[in-house]
């Protein structure tokens, strides 16, 4: 490090495990040893105070605003940085508002709406036709995104051992594709709840078009309201919803799930999990998921057991989510011009960083995703082997 190095350059020299170049103030510098794998181009300096508050927030905002560009593969660059998060700086003091979000029902409705109510036309551009916004399941490397999303839904439904005339509750049902397939292929009656008005509107329309609205509903409801009705279900599923609950509400969430499921019933919980309670990405919390909190797998297993559940199976789909996110990113970039016209350039750069950054986080193992299959109480009615 030269004594005359700008602070930004000297700060970034710590990320030297993977060689790359930095262009700053018209000069190019090599970080690390060997042939550079990508180049980071700064059109504007980043203040020292911002860098010393949060690495992810400072660099993420610079990328969003067009002050930082990546020349080369964005995924490679983000993997390089995220594999070195031990060198990131985070001062939670000035960012306390990001780490202690309001998790009341009203606040969570608003926070969920900020992400999922961006418009069905927006999501339709880059999701597959099923409008599935969660980890797909690639049986083969050649599976299309649509095939993999259908695989995921039917993999879940097979794990749930559905039978005709059973009742199924989907907590956080999105646009309702899983419920549609459950009704269509297994003859169950289904009910889904979401806090997104756009999802509820589109899901209801899709059910009507498919002729399934007499058996399946998508409702604008908070899961906390459901036990008041006194209805219990044969099967329960929740895909990609636990991340929005908030850590202080995990016990309530699992005890609520227990109250909604009949004795011996099956519950499949599909969620992204982090590696530690203290780990968090301020940029993601500020711009993508305002109340997003990643649980630890162990704490959810423990709380589930405390709520009367018996764990049958735990399966990681980490590499599947990496592939899912990169597929979404490809679709996003195909339609980037349309999206920029709808949402603007800053929004596009924010979502590029979100999609590829999450793929990189799964790739380096910073986050994982699990399907946990459990029964309420003891059940001896299931096959002896996992691959039923």
The answer to whether the CB of 1 falls within 8 A of the CB of 7 is: no
Sequence-ordered alpha helix ranges (H) in 187-248: 197-209
DSSP track, 253-267: HHHHHHHHEEEEEEE
| Structure token pair of residue 44 | 């504007």
| Structure token pair of residue 84 | 């070195």
DSSP track, 317-353: -HHHHHHHHHHHHHHHHHTHHHHHHHH-HHHHHHHHH
- Coil, strand or helix: which one is 132? coil
Residue with tokens 């646009």: 175
Closest CA to 303 of 273, 331, 264: 273
The answer to whether the CB of 192 falls within 8 A of the CB of 237 is: no
Contacts of 140 (CB under 8 A, 6+ apart): none
Residue 273 CA to its chain's centroid (Å): 9
The answer to whether the CB of 49 falls within 8 A of the CB of 26 is: no
- Catalytic status, residue 358: yes
The answer to whether the CB of 271 falls within 8 A of the CB of 321 is: no
Q: How far is Cα 293 from Cα 283, in angstroms, rounded to an integer?
A: 13
- Coil, strand or helix: which one is 236? strand
Residue 295 gets which letter from DSSP?
P
Please state whether 139 falls in left (phi above 0), alpha (psi between -120 and 50) or beta. Answer: alpha
Which of these is catalytic: 135, 193, 348, 358? 358
Which residues belong to the active site? Answer: 358
């Amino acid at each position: 490090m030269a004594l005359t190095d700008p602070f930004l350059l000297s700060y970034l020299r710590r990320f030297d495990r993977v060689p790359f170049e930095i262009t700053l103030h018209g000069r190019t510098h090599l970080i690390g040893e060997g042939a550079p794998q990508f180049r980071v181009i700064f059109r504007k300096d980043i203040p020292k105070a911002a860098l010393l508050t949060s690495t992810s927030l400072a660099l993420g905002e610079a990328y969003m605003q067009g002050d930082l560009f990546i020349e080369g593969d964005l995924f490679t660059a983000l993997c390089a940085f995220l594999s070195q998060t031990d060198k990131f700086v985070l001062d939670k003091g000035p960012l306390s508002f990001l780490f202690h979000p309001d998790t009341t029902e009203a606040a969570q409705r608003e926070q969920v709406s900020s992400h999922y109510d961006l418009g069905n036309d927006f999501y339709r551009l880059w999701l597959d036709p099923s409008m599935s916004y969660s980890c797909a399941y690639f049986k083969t490397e050649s599976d299309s995104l649509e095939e993999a999303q259908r695989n995921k839904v039917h993999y879940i439904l097979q794990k749930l051992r559905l039978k005709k005339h059973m009742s199924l509750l989907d907590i956080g049902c999105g646009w309702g594709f899983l419920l549609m397939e459950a009704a269509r292929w297994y003859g169950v009656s289904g009910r889904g709840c979401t806090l997104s008005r756009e999802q509820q509107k589109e899901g209801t329309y899709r059910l009507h078009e498919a002729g399934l609205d007499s058996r399946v509903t998508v409702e604008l409801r908070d899961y906390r309201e459901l036990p008041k009705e006194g209805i219990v279900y044969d099967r329960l599923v929740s895909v990609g919803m636990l991340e929005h609950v908030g850590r202080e509400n995990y016990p309530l969430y699992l005890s609520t799930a227990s109250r909604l499921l009949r004795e011996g019933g099956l519950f499949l919980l599909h969620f992204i999990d982090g590696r530690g309670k203290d780990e968090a990405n301020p940029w993601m919390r500020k711009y993508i998921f305002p109340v997003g909190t990643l649980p630890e797998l162990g704490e959810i297993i423990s709380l589930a057991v405390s709520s009367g559940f018996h764990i049958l199976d735990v399966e990681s789909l980490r590499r599947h989510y990496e592939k899912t996110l990169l597929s979404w990113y490809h679709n996003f970039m195909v339609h980037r011009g349309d999206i920029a016209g709808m949402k603007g350039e800053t929004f596009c750069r924010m979502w590029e960083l979100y999609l590829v950054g999450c793929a990189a986080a799964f790739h380096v193992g910073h986050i994982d995703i699990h399907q946990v299959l459990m029964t309420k109480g003891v059940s001896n009615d299931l096959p002896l082997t996992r691959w039923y």
